[in-house]
Amino acid sequence: MLHLGPRHTLTACALGYVTQAVVATLAPLLFSTFRSSFGVTLEELSLLVFLSFAVQLIVDALSPLLMRCFSLRALAVAAHLFCAVGFLLLAVLPGRMVPFTGIMIAALLYAVGGGLLEVVVSPLIEACPVRRKTTLMNLLHSAYSWGQVIVVLLTTAFFALVGIAWWRAACLLWAILPALNAVWFGLVPIYSLPEERESRSAPRRTGPFLLLLTVIAAAGAAEVAVSQWASAFAEKGLGLTKSAGDLAGICLFAAAMGVARLLFGLKGERWNLRKVMLGGAAACAAGYLLTALSPWPWLSLAGCCLCGLSVGVLWPGTLTLAAKLVRGGKLMYAILALAGDVGCSVGPAAVGLLAQSRGDSLSFGLLIAAGFPLIAVVALIALRPLAKEKGV
């Protein structure tokens, strides 16, 4: 008889974050292939990224209704099934219809799964009867970044062994992960989240909360803009090979972000959080400028790494800062997630459209994107009086 407990539930949640990483990373690894094989333009790829995150945004907005109608277990299983079907169709549909239409249908399906995962995984972790919940939450959030590294390494190794022409097989293989984790979520125990006072209340400090919404939106834009375009930029903008572009682009960025989130999970309680976030946002802007303006490929890749290291603390840090500076329950976190996903949608789409306007110059798009973390800098400076009052 198999005895399952909280550790098994946490394992399923960690694999859920890895599945989210596949949702965010797999298509960008294939952007250059889509362009060369199907003639997909940068403008179309920008639309793909924008709509994918827009779908996740809609799912976030519907999450209160979904949680009233369905159990967390049902939503977790459905999320993984949407992802599995989306990855399967990404392999099949582009060859059966207008390629970009097929890619779009598949992407929107696994985007629904990614949005559901964002909604259900954190409450599932929070409900588990384990110690050091805050540290554990941050460590599991880092699983997303390490998941990106795993996706890039395994996919790149697969292409190196069999060739990029087998990209459809890679999509099919990645569909196995969410399919198996859907079964696992059907078996592991699901714990109840205690009722929270003010769970439906809005934050009481409107001005600071608007500033926090600005920070998390800018963080989402800054994080996803570089992660979605890093591989294509390394390959087309820096002249690296497909494998080298994937490893030096997305993989380097994700590993740096994973290190930042791991440190935040282990040491974050000892930091002056606002100052660390302020420094991170400023360093992220510098990383964007270095990536876009450097005449040497290795220095551009160093800038990409700096972006990952510095942006990693902004999203989870904003959630922690909100808990300390403003009062609000579950509604507050839902609104923060919505704002973050708005940034995730707008940021990479803006980079692609700006690049398209300058003759497919991703350097130009990334240069303008340096403004995203600078917006976070301004908002964090504006939060200083309240943070000083609260001792944060």
Per-residue pLDDT of the chain (392 residues; tens, 9 = 90+): 467 888 888 899 999 999 999 998 888 888 878 888 888 887 888 788 778 878 888 887 887 788 778 888 999 999 999 999 999 999 999 988 888 899 999 999 999 999 888 878 877 877 778 776 556 766 777 888 888 888 888 988 898 899 888 999 999 999 999 999 999 999 999 887 554 444 445 555 678 889 999 999 999 999 888 776 766 666 665 666 655 655 666 677 888 888 888 887 777 667 788 888 999 999 999 999 988 887 777 787 788 889 989 998 888 888 778 877 876 655 677 678 788 888 887 888 888 788 878 776 777 888 888 999 999 999 999 998 887 777 66
Please state the domain extents for the chain: 1-190, 197-392
Q: Which residue has the tokens 């929270």?
A: 196
Structure token digits, residue 161: 């062994």
Structure token digits, residue 335: 């609104």
**CA distances (Å), origin 380, targets 17, 23, 162:** 28, 30, 48
Structure token digits, residue 66: 């979904």
C-alpha 363/C-alpha 271 separation (Å) is 34
C-alpha 364/C-alpha 358 separation (Å) is 7
CA atoms within a 13 Å half-sphere pointing along the CA-CB vector of 378: 10
**CA of residue 105 relative to chain centroid, distance:** 20
**CA distances (Å), origin 321, targets 23, 179, 329:** 28, 36, 14
Rounded to 5, what percent of the chain is helix, strand, coil? Answer: 85, 0, 15
Query: Hey, how many other C-beta atoms are within 10 angstroms of the C-beta on 381?
Result: 12
C-alpha 373/C-alpha 362 separation (Å) is 18
Q: What are phi and psi of 358, to 5 degrees?
A: -115, 40
Determine contact, residues 219/341, Cβ cutoff 8 Å: no
CATH 1.20.1250.20 assigned to 197-392: yes
Determine contact, residues 140/125, Cβ cutoff 8 Å: yes
Determine contact, residues 95/106, Cβ cutoff 8 Å: no
Structure token digits, residue 156: 């790149």
Structure token digits, residue 104: 């779009």
Structure token digits, residue 58: 């809609």
C-alpha 75/C-alpha 338 separation (Å) is 18
If we measure between CA atoms, which residue out of 22, 59, 29 comes closest to residue 45?
A: 29
Q: What's the pLDDT at 234? A: 65
| Residues ≥6 apart with Cβ < 8 Å to 359 | none
Q: What's the pLDDT at 196? A: 46
Do the domains spanning 1-190 and 197-392 agree at the CATH topology level?
yes
DSSP 249: I
C-alpha 143/C-alpha 168 separation (Å) is 25
Q: What's the pLDDT at 43? A: 80
CATH superfamily of 1-190: MFS general substrate transporter like domains (1.20.1250.20)
